[in-house]
């Protein structure tokens, strides 16, 4: 086993950038972000020939990387997924499920793939770093993206009921998406405990993310009369009300009905 680990280590002579994470994961945990990628990014995936998608910091089990591949391969049969981990033993374990289009390599935020990735997904990775580290990590990853690439930095709970993620392009952050299972919250702002590292400590009076979550709660409460018709109807009305109130909501009913809401980064960026 030691010799095999050394072989994996030698695949990338440069020291990976980053720290070893706890690696905890669960099957189907990242279904909300995968659904968002398959839906909102389908044109990006279809327009690219042999697009590369990276699952950065997939954890102790390759399950979520396998699920990502299975969900996106339906959009573009030529798509390839590469899981990147900083822990050699995790890379060794993942080789058991590797295929020609699904691979696993040793690495970190430097993204040591020969091809520049079209999409990089990093979930529950940056939350284990300091807030001051985030900007540098974002810049490092975005530098490796394909010209029209996207980096998704997100966080979710242990079984994927609540999630949020920031989408970034080479020029920087574009949007924040919150996604929750209906029935798992009393107020939408409960997603605050699963905000990405760049925002989780900013949910305080005077910060934009605080104002956004309070406004979302307000519309949720104002639409309480729709509760008998189901939380989906109430959520869609809340999202519509938020948009009508002038918030830069970037998606519409098709995504709202899934429990999602995407808003322009400028509306929630730290002060």
Q: How many helices (H) and strands (E) does the chain have?
A: 10, 8
**pLDDT of 161:** 97
The model's confidence at residue 21, banded by pLDDT at 50, 70 and 90, is: confident
**pLDDT of 24:** 77
Say if residue 8's pLDDT is above 80.
no
CATH of 2-265, one of 3.20.20.120, 3.40.50.150, 3.30.360.10, 3.40.50.720: 3.40.50.150
Give the H or E element holding residue 134.
helix 131-143
Predicted structure pTM score:
0.93
Residue by residue, DSSP assigns 43-83 as HHHHHSSS-EEEEET--SSSHHHHHHHHHHTTT-TT-EEEE
Tens of pLDDT along 234-268? 999 999 999 999 999 999 999 999 999 999 999 99
Tens of pLDDT along 124-133? 999 989 999 9
Closest residue by Cα to residue 112 from 144, 81, 158, 155: 144
Mean pLDDT, the chain, rounded, equals 94
Say if residue 184's pLDDT is above 50.
yes
Say if residue 145's pLDDT is above 70.
yes
């Amino acid at each position: 086993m030691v010799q095999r680990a050394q072989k994996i280590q030698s695949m990338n002579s440069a020291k990976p950038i980053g720290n070893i994470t706890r690696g905890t994961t669960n099957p189907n945990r990242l279904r909300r972000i995968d659904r968002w990628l398959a839906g909102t990014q389908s044109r990006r995936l279809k327009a690219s020939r042999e697009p590369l998608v990276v699952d950065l910091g997939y954890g102790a089990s390759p399950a979520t990387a396998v699920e990502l591949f299975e969900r996106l391969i339906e959009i573009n049969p030529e798509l390839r997924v590469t899981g990147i981990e900083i822990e050699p033993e995790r890379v060794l374990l993942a080789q058991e499920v590797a295929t020609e289009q699904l691979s696993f390599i040793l690495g970190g935020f430097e993204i040591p793939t020969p091809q520049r990735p079209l999409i990089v997904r990093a979930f529950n990775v940056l939350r284990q770093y300091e807030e001051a580290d985030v900007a540098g990590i974002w810049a490092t990853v975005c530098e490796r993206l394909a010209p029209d690439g996207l980096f998704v930095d997100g966080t979710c709970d242990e079984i994927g009921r609540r999630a949020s993620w920031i989408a970034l392009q080479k020029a920087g952050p574009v949007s924040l998406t919150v996604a929750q299972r209906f029935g798992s919250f009393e107020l939408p702002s409960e997603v605050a405990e699963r905000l990405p590292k760049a925002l989780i400590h900013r949910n305080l009076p005077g910060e934009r993310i605080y104002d956004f979550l309070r406004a979302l709660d307000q519309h949720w409460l104002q639409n309480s009369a729709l509760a008998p018709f189901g939380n989906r109807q109430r959520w869609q009305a809340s999202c519509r009300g938020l948009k009508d109130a002038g918030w830069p909501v970037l998606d519409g009913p098709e995504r709202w009905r899934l429990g999602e809401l995407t808003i322009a980064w400028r509306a929630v960026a730290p002060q």
